[in-house]
Homo-oligomer: A and B are copies of this chain.
Amino acid sequence: MKFSIKKDILLNSLNKVSKALSSKNLIPVLSGIKFNLTNNGLFLSASDNDISIESFIDKKDLEEIIEIGSTVIQGKYILEIIRKLEGRIVSFELLDNIKVLISCGKSEFNLNCMDANEFPNLNLEEQKEPIILRKTEFKNLINKTSFAVSTQETRPILTGINFVIKEDKLECISTDSYRLAKKSVTLPTKITEEVNVIIPGKNLIELTKILEEEDDDIQMHIFNNKVLFKFDNTLFQTRVLTGTFPDVNRLIPDSFEVEIKVNASEFYNVIDRAALLTSEKDKNIVKFECENNEVIVSSNSPEIGKVEEEIDVEKNNDNNIKIAFSSKYMMDALRTIESKDVILCFNTDIKPIIIKDAKDKTLLQLILPIKTY
């Protein structure tokens, strides 16, 4: 293997595949990034058995291919080395299959490397008819649902985001059993067979980090036991969670006793201030009391003190509500609201609270109240 490449192009690809490197990997070769130089270009790949990433650099983006070949280089070092090199072009040369010489300007790194044959086959298969959607839409789906996945391994299924595709509607749902986030998009084409798959939330967060800004397409290739995402010359494969995701739609009420419209960022700031006197220990409880058209948000901690703040709202009827909830969960939900206003929907003080974007009908957040009254 012998070639040269612009530093920035290589660094961009290394940054992507390095997301699949794990420090606690038990298989030594998986601490490395596989370099596979073919006559078509350079394939970089890495895997931690949970996610696998391959990034391809076309031969037209390489400076020179002198000899094809492959090797595995320590992931931790190669990324830092390329980042800190000064100079525009980096040259690689594999020596005796056990060392790789990396040169750039006056710097010469001579790194021990591993046999590419020891690197597992990542089986990055594609479907004939993948699901296709815009990258920005995909990012939105993940950003507005991933925060609500469970971080507890007691019910592993809840650490994932449930993707449900029916005809041309893709719906993402996540829940940690105290709150729920749901966001959907319309796909450009209808699919014939219904899809229902649960993808680990943390893997999807890693995926959104390496999606470039340009708003082109991302493809989803869905299999029984894995999902492959394809975009920007990159393949990102993740395992899926096995089991049945709870049917959460039955938890979401159709009608409400009280609907309140309020400026989203003002409401966020009021909750944020009330949260100052709460603590994780007491579930960050804040109280919300709506009487006529006056809403009071308050919190109370006997040792520290109390806070109370009034907020202007628009209400759909004369019904009133007194309810308490976690300020943290409410703020997480409010962060997904992009419109100026948010709609808060209540029934009784023990029924779920629904939080909607005043304009985006495809988004719904739910949080369970905390009984205090």
At the interface, yes or no: A106 with Cβ under 8 Å from chain B?
yes
Q: Given the known inter-chain contacts A84-B269, A112-B304, A304-B77, please indicate yes or no for A107 contacting B309, CB distance below 8 A.
A: yes
Q: Are A307 and B108 in contact (CB under 8 A)?
A: yes
A272 contacts across to B, CB distance below 8 A: 84
Instruction: Find A77's partner among B109, B270, B276 (CB 8 Å cutoff).
Output: B276
Determine whether A224 belongs to the interface, using a CB cutoff of 8 Å to chain B: no
- A51 close to chain B: CB less than 8 A: no
**Pick the contact of A276 from B84, B303, B306 — CB < 8 Å?**
B84
Decide yes or no whether A313 CB sits under 8 A from chain B.
no
A243 at the interface (CB under 8 A from B): no
Closest to A312 in B: B106
Q: What 0/1 readout, one digit per residue, does chain A (239-283) give for beta carbons within 8 Å of chain B?
A: 000000000000000000000000000000110110011000000
A216 on the B face (CB < 8 A) = no
Chain B, Cβ-Cβ closest to A113: B305
- Choose among B84, B86, B99 the residue that contacts A305 (Cβ–Cβ < 8 A): B99
Least CB separation from A277: chain B residue: B77
A291–B168 Cα distance when bound, in Å, is: 72
Copies of this chain: 2
Instruction: Say yes or no: A106-B310 contact (C-beta < 8 A), given A77-B276, A84-B276, A276-B81.
Output: yes
In contact, B106 and A311 (Cβ under 8 angstroms): yes
Cα–Cα, bound, A75→B307 (Å)? 17
Tell me the chain A residues, 94-110 only, with Cβ under 8 Å from chain B: 99, 106-110
A308 within 8 A of B: yes
Q: Which of B77, B85, B273 contacts A85 (CB 8 A)?
A: B273
Residue of B nearest to A311 (CB): B106
Most B Cβ at <10 Å: residue of A99, A106, A303, A308: A106
Chain B contacts of A270 at CB under 8 A?
107
**Digit string of A76-100 for contact with B (CB within 8 Å is 1, else 0)?**
0100110011100000000000010
Which B residues are CB-close (under 8 A) to A107?
270, 273, 307-309
How many whole Å from A144's CB to the nearest CB in chain B?
25
The answer to whether A306 touches B273, judged by C-beta atoms less than 8 angstroms apart, is: no
Please judge, given known A-B contacts A84-B276, A273-B84, A273-B85, whether A106 and B303 are in contact too, CB under 8 Å: no
Closest chain B CB from A93 CB (angstroms): 13
CB interface residues, A 51-74, toward B, < 8 Å: 74
Nearest chain-B residue to A84 (Cβ)?
B273
Which residues on the B side are within 8 Å of A273 (C-beta)? 81, 84-85, 107
How far does the Cβ of A195 sit from chain B's closest Cβ, in whole Å? 44
Answer yes or no: A191 CB below 8 A from chain B CBs: no
B84 adjacent to A303 (CB under 8 Å): no
| Contact A109 to B307, CB < 8 A, known contacts A84-B272, A86-B269 | yes
Nearest Cβ in chain B — how far from A226, in angstroms? 33
Cβ of A132 under 8 Å from chain B: no
Taking the closest CB of chain B, its distance from the CB of A79, in whole angstroms, is 10
A80 and B276 contacting across the interface, CB-CB below 8 Å: yes
Check if A111 is an interface residue, CB within 8 A of chain B: yes
Q: Which of A283-340 contact B (CB under 8 A)?
A: 303-311
Q: Which residues of B contact A111 (CB under 8 A)?
A: 304-305
For A303, the chain B residues whose CB sits under 8 A away are: 112
Question: Closest 10 CB pairs between A and B?
Answer: A111-B305, A107-B309, A106-B310, A109-B307, A110-B306, A108-B308, A110-B305, A112-B305, A84-B273, A106-B309
